[in-house]
Structure 1
Amino acid sequence: MCTVVIRVPQPNAPEPVRLLAVRDEDPARPWRPLGAWWEDRPGVRGVLDEQAGGAWLAADDRKIAVLLNRAGFPDVPVPTTRGRLVLDALAGVPLPSPLTTLGFNLVEATGESVKVTSWTGEEPPTVRLLGPGTHMVAHDDVDDPRTARIAAWLDSFAESDPDGWLDVLAATTAVDPTDDRAIIRDNRPHGYPTLSLLVAVASVHADGVEVRTRTLPAPGAWGPPGLTTA
């Protein structure tokens, strides 16, 4: 139940694509922070899922990709991990056919375009190219008003300069982390063992990608931003 906010600039504008991502995961699942963890993928930096070897978010010098879980599962006995899809997206590897993972939203951003690939397990994946403006995606469709946190906060992010998005994120913590509107979340009352663990911000230029991250002081708890770059 992660959350991503994206600002897509107008065509030919000098601004980069901007991204804010909040990772929700089971705190007991081992992971490593943003770093160059994959010897076979030089130049790739990402947040490593130690259990499966993939990434929640990863970037190279031209692109960033981040994966969000959503409902849906294929008719296979043991779904494969979704984290490899992030690394494959950076390498330009097409999605497997057939897909054998649980449902997902895969965000891919370069300095020229942003697309979201969605898979619910019951139909071919759909691809949406995002137009100029501010967008949010979580566990349903992009900008989906059925998602309480999108309905509550999309306008606030849209009205803010991306340099102020961490302040907007801090303001969202006025609601309890178990509230459906929360972005910094505790999903356990909703039947999932996941809490917000990490915040990432990125600027995606035509000639490079800058990513900064911050591990939250405790799962589901907000604190001063203190972002670091790997």
Structure 2
Amino acid sequence: MCTVIVHVPEDATAAIRVLAVRDEDPARAWDPLGPWWPDLPGVIGVRDTRAGGAWLAADPSASRLAVVLNRADFIDDSLATGSRGHIVLDAAAGRGLSDAPPTHGFNLLTVTPGRARVSMWDGESVRAVDLAPGVHMIAHDDVDDPKTARIVAWHDAFAAPSGDDWIAEWLGALERTTALEPTDDRAIIRDNRPHGYPTLSLLVCAGSVSASGAEVVYGEFDEPGAWNSLQLR
């Protein structure tokens, strides 16, 4: 039940910016942002230690960034034989998405210069939408979905960045959302256990993509599901 905020500027040559909050079971090991894949030189990301894929990955020199969010589906576990994390690596490496990925459902955000695309897989079909200029939020349903409580509560809190210090602006907005308890369904920094999932908010990444390259920074929370001021690097 991760959350991603995206700003697509009116000027197609300006940088697209992303703030991504990862929710995962704290017992599932991960590796922080780094170059973990020898077969993908130049790709950096947050690696899932168990499956070897990535939650978020980027190729800075190729100006590509991708991040995946789980999406509700009705796929039998025996049919979901693939890892969503390898789809992220494929996207960061510039490879396309199949018509029927062998995974559970997902929302995949792929950012390249002037374009932010969300591909949505629910087990029946892959739908894709290119994001229009403006600020968008993505969670476990559709983009800017009014059925998602945190999107209704906080979409307007993440205004288009007004200057170069956009990460601080959006982290400030993210901190203000923590006036809610992490078990509140409207929360972005979350404890999902009361909702039937063993996941809590663990870390935040911020990324910027333009024709000059992709930049990504990373920070972990001191305690899963609990806010503390972050220095992303």
What's the TM-score bracket when you normalise by the shorter of the two chains?
over 0.9
Provide the rounded CA distance (Å) in 1 between the counterparts of 2:34 and 2:103.
25
| 1:160, distance to aligned residue in structure 2 (A) | 5.4
Pair 1:159–1:8, CA change in 2 (3 A): closer
| 1:138, distance to aligned residue in structure 2 (A) | 0.2
Q: Which residue of 2 aligns with 1:223?
A: 228
Provide the rounded CA distance (Å) in 2 between the counterparts of 1:137 and 1:83.
17
Provide the rounded CA distance (Å) in 2 between the counterparts of 1:166 and 1:209.
19
In the alignment, is the contact (CA less than 8 A) between 1:24 and 1:195 conserved in 2? Answer: yes
Provide the rounded CA distance (Å) in 1 between the counterparts of 2:12 and 2:17.
15
Q: Which residue of 1 aligns with 2:181?
A: 176
Amino acid across the alignment from 2:179: A
Please, which runs of 5 or more residues in structure 1 have no aligned partner?
A: none
In the alignment, is the contact (CA less than 8 A) between 1:74 and 1:100 conserved in 2? Answer: no
Q: Which residue of 1 aligns with 2:150?
A: 149
Q: Which residue of 1 aligns with 2:11?
A: 11
| 1:12, distance to aligned residue in structure 2 (A) | 3.9
Q: Which residue of 1 aligns with 2:109?
A: 107
In the alignment, is the contact (CA less than 8 A) between 1:76 and 1:100 conserved in 2? Answer: no
| 1:112, distance to aligned residue in structure 2 (A) | 1.4
Q: Which residue of 2 aligns with 1:202?
A: 207
| 1:95, distance to aligned residue in structure 2 (A) | 1.9
Provide the rounded CA distance (Å) in 2 between the counterparts of 1:27 and 1:190.
16
2:87 to 85, 88, 91: 85
In the alignment, is the contact (CA less than 8 A) between 1:199 and 1:214 conserved in 2? Answer: yes
Measured on the aligned residues, the alpha-carbon RMSD in Å equals: 1.4
1:119 to 113, 118, 121: 121
Provide the rounded CA distance (Å) in 1 between the counterparts of 2:100 and 2:76.
10
Pair 1:207–1:73, CA change in 2 (3 A): farther
Instruction: Give 4+ residue runs of structure 1 displaced > 4 Å after superposition.
Output: none
Please, which runs of 5 or more residues in structure 2 have no aligned partner?
A: none
Provide the rounded CA distance (Å) in 2 between the counterparts of 1:209 and 1:73.
35
Q: Which residue of 1 aligns with 2:34?
A: 35
| 1:76, distance to aligned residue in structure 2 (A) | 6.5
In the alignment, is the contact (CA less than 8 A) between 1:32 and 1:49 conserved in 2? Answer: yes
| 1:60, distance to aligned residue in structure 2 (A) | 0.5
Provide the rounded CA distance (Å) in 1 between the counterparts of 2:161 and 2:176.
12
Provide the rounded CA distance (Å) in 2 between the counterparts of 1:46 and 1:73.
29
Provide the rounded CA distance (Å) in 2 between the counterparts of 1:12 and 1:141.
23
State the SS of the aligned residue for 1:158: coil
Stretch deviating more after TM superposition (200-209 or 67-76) = 67-76
Pair 1:159–1:66, CA change in 2 (3 A): closer
| 1:97, distance to aligned residue in structure 2 (A) | 4.1
Give deviations 1:192-230, integer Å, cap 9, x for gaps.
Answer: 0000000011111211111111001110011111111xx
| 1:75, distance to aligned residue in structure 2 (A) | 5.2
In the alignment, is the contact (CA less than 8 A) between 1:48 and 1:56 conserved in 2? Answer: yes
TM-score under structure 2 normalisation?
A: 0.93
| 1:64, distance to aligned residue in structure 2 (A) | 0.4
TM-score under structure 1 normalisation?
A: 0.94
Provide the rounded CA distance (Å) in 1 between the counterparts of 2:103 and 2:29.
20
Provide the rounded CA distance (Å) in 2 between the counterparts of 1:85 and 1:217.
29
Amino acid across the alignment from 1:157: F
State the SS of the aligned residue for 2:158: helix
Pair 1:190–1:60, CA change in 2 (3 A): same
